[in-house]
Amino acid sequence: MRSALPKVLHSLAGRPLVAHLLDTARALSPRALVVVVGSGAEAVRTALAAPDIAFVLQDPPRGTGDATRVALDALPTDGITLVTIGDLPLVPHTALAALVEAAEKGQLAVLTAHVPDPAGLGRIVRDASGRVRAIVEDRDLTPAQRKLDEINTGVMAAPTALMRRWVTALKPGNAQSEFYLTDIVAAAVADGIPVAAHAAADERDVRGINDQMQLAAVERIVQGRHAQALMQSGVALADPARIDIRGTLTCGRDVRIDVGCVFEGIVQLGDGVTIGPYCVLRDVAVADGAMLAAFSHLDGATVGANARIGPFARLRPGAALGEDVHIGNFVEVKASTIGAGSKANHLAYIGDATLGRNVNFGAGAITANYDGAHKHATTIGDDASIGSNCVLVAPITIGIGATIGGGSTLALDAPARALTVARPPQVTLAGWQRPVKAPNPTPKD
């Protein structure tokens, strides 16, 4: 990956690669779950720490067979052992379950796939009757074996006692001088144990990731599947190739999503919601009929029914908007509650505030909520009108129905149903001259 970050921690659909695989493994309800770590072990342990995971260290790294041997020391001695690799995020639960089922019959089960370009991958070698006889790594292939298109995915299952016996007997007799787990196939054949090959239904499900290009390709597979599922549920996507879901997106009926939108964490969109192009939503709930215009960024916010947001609006964590609220272009709202029907249509900042119903918050107005050490609250009553370019220095309360004249800076509460103006008187200085620069000297010949 040419990165300081361990490969299995690179992000796919907003989560580490290996986290996808761990969730699939958990669907099998295993008695024990072991992650073998090596380079970058501490980062992997920190990212994946969970009560049901045990970590074991492989040091030095000596191949997949040695990694399995290390893991077996932390597993129960009976039952079935399923082995997979951490950069295989899309392998389906059904494929893993099929391997376990075959292993429960006393077989060695391997997951394979037929791929259009097997270069660099280990091949499944069968005899004339079609029985699996061996798995040969790419570096060790004969010219005839290089023509095979059935590849090993790195996923195997076997009775634990057999797995332990075969792994213990492995020898590093290969081009890499490593202990290959794939060599246990030949050991099983020698012991007369059937080898069951389960071919993946879709080769995309078993694509491993070894570089940034492969990671990007798998990302598009995941996003394409998300888009397909959304459209099958009735969501209208302007372009299914231009949407990214990096968490969970739940949509009601008649939802429309324009191009370039990103959804992170848990996002809920109600019936009739419209999302304009290039919006980013993270951990957001949007109620029925709301509309988000282009380039709006919402994080940790709730949006009421029929609200209008954007374009170029930002809702930060704790922003809670009531129904029919309008938040316009270049308006930022943070840790504030805005009542039904209120509007902040242009170039404003609302932070640590509570706005009542039908408040008009003028262009260029801000709540000055931070004194350099502490945050302070602003309370604005129903039907209040805050003029353009006002500064409300918190803590402050603006009464119900109050009007604040444009350009005012208020540090004291404003009474209800009255006009409050706090600005210096306008002064004109007759005869004043604007300073001018002295002319540049004429250059000499």
Using the structure block, give the residue that is written with the tokens 């259009």. Answer: 116
| DSSP assignment of 28-72 | T--S-EEEEEBTBHHHHHHHH--TTEEEEE-SS---HHHHHHHHH
Average pLDDT along the chain: 95
Q: Which residues are catalytic?
A: 346
Give the residue among 275, 268, 340, 274 at the shortest CA–CA distance from 304.
340
Percentages (nearest 5) of helix, strand, coil residues in the chain: 20, 30, 50
Measured CA distances, 179 to 36, 154, 285 (Å): 15, 14, 51
3-state secondary structure of 268: strand
Q: For residue range 283-323, list pLDDT tens digits in order.
A: 999 999 999 999 999 999 999 999 999 999 999 999 999 99
pLDDT at 176: 75
Whether the pLDDT of residue 67 is over 70: the answer is yes
Q: At what angle do helices 64-72 and 160-168 cross, to 10 degrees?
A: 130
Q: Domains plus CATH for the chain?
A: 7-206 (3.90.550.10), 212-420 (2.160.10.10)
Question: Rounded CA gap, 232 and 317, in Å?
Answer: 32
- In this prediction the pTM is 0.91
pLDDT band at 177 (very low <50, low <70, confident <90, very high): confident
pLDDT at 84: 96
Q: For residue range 353-381, list pLDDT tens digits in order.
A: 999 999 999 999 999 999 999 999 999 99
First vs last C-alpha separation in the chain: 63
